[in-house]
Amino acid sequence: MVLLLLLFLLLTTSTSSTPISSPSHHNLSYPHFQHLNVKAIITETKLKVKPTQLPKQPHEHQKAKTDSENEGSGKWKLKLLHRDKIPTFNTSNDHRSRFNARMKRDTKRVTAVVRRLAGASGLEAEAFGSDVVSGMEQGSGEYFVRIGVGSPPRNQYVVIDSGSDIIWVQCQPCTQCYHQSDPVFNPADSSSYAGVSCGSTVCSRVENADCHEGRCRYEVSYGDGSYTKGTLALETLTFERTVIRNVAIGCGHRNQGMFVGAAGLLGLGGGSMSFVGQLGGQTGGAFSYCLVSRGTESSGSLEFGREAMPVGAAWVPLIHNPRALSFYYVGLSGLGVGGLRVPISEDVFKLNELGEGGVVMDTGTAVTRLPTSAYDAFRDAFIAQTTNLPRATGVSIFDTCYNLYGFVSVRVPTVSFYFSGGPILTLPARNFLIPVDDAGTFCFAFAPSPSGLSIIGNIQQEGIQISVDGANGFVGFGPNVC
C-alpha cells in the first residue's frame, strides 16, 4: 500500500475536482525501478473463497431512502466484487484454472469489442445492447455489484460494464433462462413494474426494438450466438438504501449463454440508455470506481454523483467517437519503460475519421491490448531491462513470462502510460507482472490487439481510483488507491 501511495504521489496531477477545461499539469521525476513482492503475490494466488453472507431480501416494511431524501447527499456508493470473491461464481480454487478461464473470457470479450467497433456485427442493431460476450460454462463478467430490483426490492448480482448501454435482468416467466445465484426476478411481485408502450419516447431510443401487443420489446444478439430478449420496462432500482425510480430496464424472458450466476448487467457506458445516461442530472453525469487488486481481502467500490469526483486526480480528456457512443475513449500518446519513453509513433494510438483505432478504457476486458507494432516495441523495451530475471515459456495469450520461483521480491522497471496533454500514469508492479499459476510463473500482462484498437483493461486499472466525468468530458486517475 505504501508503494501504491508513492506511485500516485508521482502521478502527474490536476488539482481541479470538476474539470471544465483542459487540466493543468506539471512533470515530476519518478523512480525508474520498483520492487515486485513475489512471495506475497504467490501466497495470494492460493485463494480460499470465504462463504459470502448475502444480504437478506428486504421486507416491504423496511424503510429505504426515497429520491428526495437522498438529494442532499449527492453521492451513492456500492461495494464492487471481483467474481473470484463470490463463491457461487468461482468454480475452482486452483489459480491456474481461474487464470485460464479468465483468459478465455477475455479473448471472447476482445473479439466482440473489436467486431462491434469495426461494424462487423452491425452497430445499429447493438445500440441498446452490451458487447460483453459470454456463452461459456464459466459465464462472463469480471466485476459485480448487488442491487435491489423492484418494489419491494429483490437483491440481484449484476455485472458492471463501462462499454454497455443496457440495464437488464432475467425475468419470470422464463421461456429460456440460465442458472443464476438468486431467484429470477418476477415482475408480478413488484408494485413498481410498468411495461413501456411502443409509442413512448423511451422505446424510440431503442434502435433494435419492436412492438408486441402494444408493448415495447427489445432483442440483443451477441457475436458468439448468445442473446437476451424481452420486454422494456420502467422499474425501481435500490442501491444500498437509495431508491431510484422509473429506470428503463430490459426484462429478459429468453436469455441464452449469458452470465452464469449473475442476474444481468448494469451498463455504465456513455450512451443515453445506460444507467449513468438515464440519470443525467441526478448524478451530474459522473461516476467513480475502484477495482480491488486480486488476492486482497477488501472489496472495491462504485460511486455515483459529482461528489464522487476527487480533488487531485490526473484528468485526461475523453475523445468522442460518434460510431461508438458507449465506450470511453482517451488520448494516449506513448508508453514508457524504466523512465524511458518507448519509440512509438503517437499516430498508432489515434482515433481516425472513420471511427477506427483509438484507445478505450474498459472494465470488461482484463488484459490491455495494444496494436501489434506498439506492443512489440513495448515488450522488447521491457525485456531489455529485465535480463536479470530468469525467463519462462509463454502462457496463454502472453509471450513474455518469467520463472520467479524461490524469489522473495524482484526489481523491475517501471511501466507508464503517457496520456495526451501531459499526464503520466505509472503502474504498480503487480498491474503489469501477474502470476499465471501458484508456482512462481509471472507474465508481462499486455497482449497485441487483433486490430488497430487499443484497450486499457481492468488488470492495469486495479487498485487505482478511476473517475468518469462524462458531462464535462474527462476521465481521472487517482489520487486514491484501493
91: cell is 468454480
Cβ proximity of 467 and 476 under 8 Å: yes
> What phi and psi, each to the nearest 5 degrees, are found at residue 195?
-65, 150
> Which residues are within 8 A (CB) of 115 and not within 5 positions of it... i.e. 6 or more apart?
121, 223
Closest CA to 355 of 115, 118, 123, 132: 118
3-class SS shares of the chain: helix, strand, coil, % to 5: 20, 35, 45
> Which residues are within 8 A (CB) of 56 and not within 5 positions of it... i.e. 6 or more apart?
none
The three state secondary structure string of the chain is: CHHHHHHHHCCCCCCCCCCCCCCCCCCCCCCCEEEECHHHHHHHHCCCCCCCCCCCCCCCCCCCECHHHHCCCCCEEEEEEEHHHCCCCCCCCCHHHHHHHHHHHHHHHHHHHHHHHHCCCCCHHHCCCCCCCCCCCCCCCCEEEEEEECCCCEEEEEEEECCCCCEEEEECCCCECCCECCCCECHHHCCCCEECECCCHHHHCCCCEEEECCEEEEEEECCCCCEEEEEEEEEEEEECCEEEEEEEEEEEEEEECCCCECCEEEECCCCCCCHHHHHHHHCCCEEEEECCCCCCCCCEEEEECHHHCCCCCEEEEEECCCCCCCCEEECEEEEEECCEECCCCHHHHCECCCCCECEEECCCCCCEEECHHHHHHHHHHHHHCCCCCCEECCECCECCEEECCCCCCEEEECEEEEECCCCEEECCHHHCEEECCCCCEEEECEEECCCCCEEECHHHHCCEEEEEECCCCEEEEEEEEC
> Which residues are within 8 A (CB) of 384 and not within 5 positions of it... i.e. 6 or more apart?
none
Which active-site residues does the annotation give?
Answer: 161, 362
CA angle 229, 164, 334 (to 5 degrees): 150
